[in-house]
Amino acid sequence: MEKLQVLSLYADFRKDLNYIEKQLEQSVQSASPIIRQASLHLLRAGGKRIRPIFVILAAEFGRYSLEDVSKVAVSLELIHMASLVHDDVIDDSDMRRGLKTVKAKWDNRIAMYTGDYIFSRALLSIGEIEIPAAHQLLAKTMLEICHGEIIQIDQQREINQTFRDYLRRIKRKTALLLSSSCELGALVSGADAEVVRKLSRFGYYAGMSFQIIDDILDITSTDQELGKPAGSDLLNGHITLPILYIKDDPIFTPYLVRAFEGTLTELEREEMLTFIRHSDAIQKATVVSDLYLQKALDEISSLPNMPAKKALERIAEFIGQRNY
Amino acid sequence: MERENINCYIDNYIGELRHAVRQPILERDVGDVNVDKAKVFFLLLPLLNGERWTDSTHAASIAVGAVHIAFDAHDTIHHQDATSTLQQLTVLSGDYFSGVHYKILAALPDIYFVRTLSTTIGQINELKTNFYKNSPRDVQELLETVESIEANCISDFLYTYGFSEYVPLASTALSMIAFDSAMDQAAKRKLPDILDWTLHQHDIERVQSSLKRKLEKMIAEADFITPLLQEEIRGMTTPLLGKMI
């Protein structure tokens, strides 16, 4: 049902998205059969394609060229994909979106080479765009993403984290790439500087909300809905926003400690998830997500009324309500 | 240029590269980045030989260095278990170094070289994957693959920045050094994964012998390179040339 909702959100831009999807497949047609299979395996596992759609919609505010938009969108989605392949190595994850991860289907080494290959294809795609500012922005974003992941490992299994630590981490992990998706879409279409700034901030706030909802869903969804074990963030030693709200509860703390030690039994995992779901942590985290969404909507409120603006608003609303 | 100066240039380059990729957590938990001095030597060969070397050329050479240390980091990831903090950070260090290479080229900006280098990086990962899963069919394939993996990014740099006459020499010497390292590792029964082929040792020795002849001829014909640098190249490959093959 939700997947149908997201498809309907994209309906007006389906033709261009289909074109980008084809370009994505084309871009990973590797001469190496294993890399080709691994890349297509990941590509066909799907995803919301929120980065490409943000590029498309932001580019609508300038002189839209599908060719340029496609190069940027392909690049951003490939960067996202490459980071997922490497993240699965780091987290030792066997399942993603209900399918085996590249590292589980092949092994870590193949996942490393596949991720690096996909990353190189991302740069090749955006390398067709001769706008230095676009490259400088993307390079900066990529380094910030890495920096965020390095900090995440550094803070792994660290119970005494703050709200600010969490917000900084999700900014780098998710919000910056969504912000850059909007900014790059607007940049390559030559939109006004002020429009570029507003769209960039929209992407940033929407991205913050998107990640908070993702972190909530990691707790409230079933294993089947997630395509991986619910509570994976905790099992991997990552403190997310709902956990920040509940971590000092004396009933919850022992679960947290055991999750971080890797000694949590399956039954305890279920008990822990039930406990969080029945606490007010989820609601409190949702309130923060809604605040970010409102900021995102405020940013674009002054932009010209056009179908792309409506679509951005609908996507922002979807982000807040999604349950997968 | 004196030998001391050559070392000084190489050490300065390594210092600059380490500075460019510096990240406090990586530095604390993973340690200093290992930089292959032979690769640096061939990357800087035109500079050492007195060619015009602009700031942009130098920045691009640092970007190529970042690509190589990214490769090296990812080559050390264990095929089954990368769950230790050190391995996790090593995965991310490779990604980070890769990002640094792009940042440097974007700042120049040299978008043409971004494209060129990205094409080569993609091909190298394809070759590594094929090599990792399948042994090379013959010695020729082995030779071409090692040459591509070891030298193609450096060759791209030399071509792009107007030093194409250095490419054959750099390419051949780097392949030779890689073979030398493989032989040493094989002797210690510790082949690095990238050279974890099942060919017999005598096949590798045949390649070495052919490379040796090729390199000697190239050095003799490379009259555009100072005698000292010619001597250095011989010296770098001496462990091979000195061996009974």
The tokens describing A239, both together, are 């403190």
Q: Which of residues 30-89 of A touch B (CB under 8 A)?
A: 30-32, 34-35, 83, 86, 89
Rounded to 5 degrees, what are φ and ψ at A96?
A: -145, 130
Question: Contact A89/B91, CB-based, under 8 Å?
Answer: yes
Contacts of B94 in chain A (CB under 8 A): 112, 116
Over residues B198-204, mean pLDDT: 65
Q: Are B224 and B233 in contact (CB under 8 A)?
A: no
Distance in Å, alpha carbon of A11 to nearest chain B alpha carbon: 33
What is the per-residue DSSP string for A208-220? HHHHHHHHHHHHH
Amino acid letter at A99? L
Residue B35 pLDDT exceeds 70: yes
Question: Contact B25/A154, CB-based, under 8 Å?
Answer: yes
Cα–Cα distance list, B232 to A113, B38, B216, B226, B236 (Å): 34, 10, 13, 10, 6
Q: What is the total residue count of chain A?
A: 324
Residue of A nearest to B29 (CA): A154
Closest CB to A139 among B70, B106, B133: B106
Name the residue with tokens 């012998």: B209
Question: Contact A116/B82, CB-based, under 8 Å?
Answer: no
Which helix (H) or strand (E) segment is A105 a member of? helix A102-105
User: Of A207, A197, A211, whose CA–CA distance to A54 is shortest?
Assistant: A207
The tokens describing A117, both together, are 């290959």
Residue B238 pLDDT exceeds 80: no
Beta bridge partners of A323: none
The tokens describing A44, both together, are 């066909």
Question: Contact A31/B126, CB-based, under 8 Å?
Answer: yes
Question: Contact B88/A32, CB-based, under 8 Å?
Answer: no
The tokens describing A27, both together, are 């871009």
Question: Contact B102/A135, CB-based, under 8 Å?
Answer: yes
Instruction: State residue B191's pLDDT score.
Output: 47
> How far is it, in rounded angstroms, from Cα A47 to Cα A324?
10
Beta bridge partners of A187: none
pTM of the model as a whole: 0.94
Contacts of B119 in chain A (CB under 8 A): 120, 124
Instruction: State residue B188's pLDDT score.
Output: 63
Query: Is A104 at the interface with chain B, CB within 8 A?
Result: no
Distance in Å, alpha carbon of A87 to nearest chain B alpha carbon: 9
Contacts of B153 in chain A (CB under 8 A): none
Residue of A nearest to B102 (CA): A139
Question: Contact A83/B26, CB-based, under 8 Å?
Answer: no
E strand map for chain A:
95-96, 99-100
Instruction: State residue B243's pLDDT score.
Output: 44
| ipTM, 2 dp | 0.94
Residue B240 pLDDT exceeds 70: no
Q: Which of residues 115-174 of A touch B (CB under 8 A)?
A: 115-117, 119-121, 123-124, 127-130, 132, 135-136, 138-140, 142-143, 145-147, 149-151, 153-154, 156
Question: Contact A120/B119, CB-based, under 8 Å?
Answer: yes
Instruction: State residue B186's pLDDT score.
Output: 61
> How far is it, in rounded angstroms, from Cα B20 to Cα B106?
14
Cis peptide before B109 (omega within 30 of 0): yes
Closest CB to A112 among B29, B74, B123: B74
Question: Contact A108/B109, CB-based, under 8 Å?
Answer: no
Distance in Å, alpha carbon of A219 to nearest chain B alpha carbon: 23
Question: Contact A139/B99, CB-based, under 8 Å?
Answer: yes
User: Which residues of chain A carry a pLDDT beneath 50?
Assistant: 1
Contacts of A114 in chain B (CB under 8 A): 125, 129
Contacts of B126 in chain A (CB under 8 A): 30-32, 35, 113, 117
